Amino acid sequence: MIKIGIMSFAHLHAEAYIQNIRSIPGVEWIGFIDPDSDRVKQFSEQFRTWGTSDFDEFFAKKPDGVVICSENNNHLSMVETAIAAGVKNICCEKPLATTLEDAEKIVSLTESKKINLMTAFPMRFSAPIVAVKDQLDRGVYGKIYCFRSENEGQMPSLHRKWFVDKKLAGGGALQDHLVHLTDLFRWITKSEVDSVYAQSSQCFHRGEVDVETAGMAMLHFKNDCFATIDCSWSRPDYYPTWGGLNFEVVTDRGAVQVDAFRQNLSVYRHDIQNQVWHYWGSDSNQGMIEEFAASIREERPACITATDGLRAVEVVQAAYESAASGKTVKL
């Protein structure tokens, strides 16, 4: 039986991950640690589970793996604490860190200690995205030219106030949303980003917060593909989901449109007028947590690594530099 617990309920994703962990056969949910005693009380009652603010108590349960859901700027210290306690398998919420220095320290530490660290990029497990990547890999849609994409959400302070605290979150909408699509396009193209141009704005919720609430980035890849990414906190409070993630891939054979939240895939090809794949009904968080558990059970690295997290942080930091300078930033 594999034992997994959560380190901090600061991030709202912890509320999904606990359900994912509990549903996996052969995995024992051991509870959670959170330095914030108010959160311990709230979430231990909400999920009818054991929680503590004492790290020694938590690690006495000998977890085989932990899922870190702390504030973004605390990821490094949480990783260090878990490793010092003897944990060999860590799934860390995105972004991996709020600075390049912290992200590089996490990669260096986990590599030197031979730690299996998985960066939490659940969109790699979205059924329509997995389907389109498989077909692109097999050459069904031909050569990729570019991506046009959007990742929008509600104002995250609706759920957690710290998301709009620059010290704790590391930034605003760019920090929050740019990483998902950056990771997906690196994964799909098998190529690295070599330049970034970005702009940011407070056009949404102006005057309410000190961080950017909207951003637009253009990424150029070493294989000569490029991508535009619109990331914002533009969705109203009453939106049916917290937001959405969708993209279009333009190829030499046409275009493919993917909507990860509605979970459908539309294909437009020169030789096939229109083909629509409807709802899959999958849970990308579940797929990610199952992969983490499988990597522990099989004693292998997870399919997403700390280095993947670092590469996304590099792009985010380049986007902030570009937005400040008005110039393209080379990586």
Profile the chain (331 residues) by mean pLDDT over runs of 10 residues. 98 95 97 98 97 98 98 98 98 98 98 98 94 95 96 85 95 96 98 98 90 97 97 81 87 92 64 48 87 98 98 98 98 97
The per-residue pLDDT for 269 is 61
In 85-192 the beta strands, taken as DSSP E runs, fall at 89-93, 116-120, 144-154
Region(s) of the chain under CATH 3.40.50.720: 2-121+286-303
* Predicted pLDDT of residue 267: 66
Closest to 258 in 3D by CA, of 272, 270, 244: 244
Whole-angstrom CA distances from 30 to 10, 49, 50, 298 are 18, 9, 8, 20
Give CATH for domain 2-121+286-303.
Answer: 3.40.50.720
**CA 175 to CA 211: how far, in whole Å?**
10
Query: Encoding tokens for residue 94?
Result: 């995105």
Q: Which two tokens stand for residue 209?
A: 């917060």
DSSP lists the bridge partners of residue 93 as: 120
Q: Which residue has the tokens 């909507």?
A: 259
Residues of the chain with CATH 3.30.360.10: 123-282+314-330
Nearest partner of 179 among 244, 229, 145, judged by Cα = 229
3-state helix, strand, coil in the chain (%, to 5): 40, 30, 35
Strand ranges for the chain from DSSP E: 2-7, 27-33, 51-52, 65-68, 89-93, 116-120, 144-154, 193-201, 214-221, 226-235, 243-251, 254-259, 264-269, 275-277, 329-330
CA distance 202 to 281: 35
- The answer to whether 54 and 74 have CB atoms below 8 angstroms apart is no
Tokens of 286: 């579940």
Put the strands of the sheet holding 27-33 in their side by side order: 51-52, 27-33, 2-7, 65-68, 89-93, 116-120
From the candidate CATH numbers 3.30.70.330, 1.10.10.410, 3.40.140.10, 3.30.360.10, the one assigned to the domain spanning 123-282+314-330? 3.30.360.10
**What confidence tens digit (pLDDT) does each residue in 201-244 have?**
999 988 889 999 999 999 999 999 999 999 999 887 776 666 78
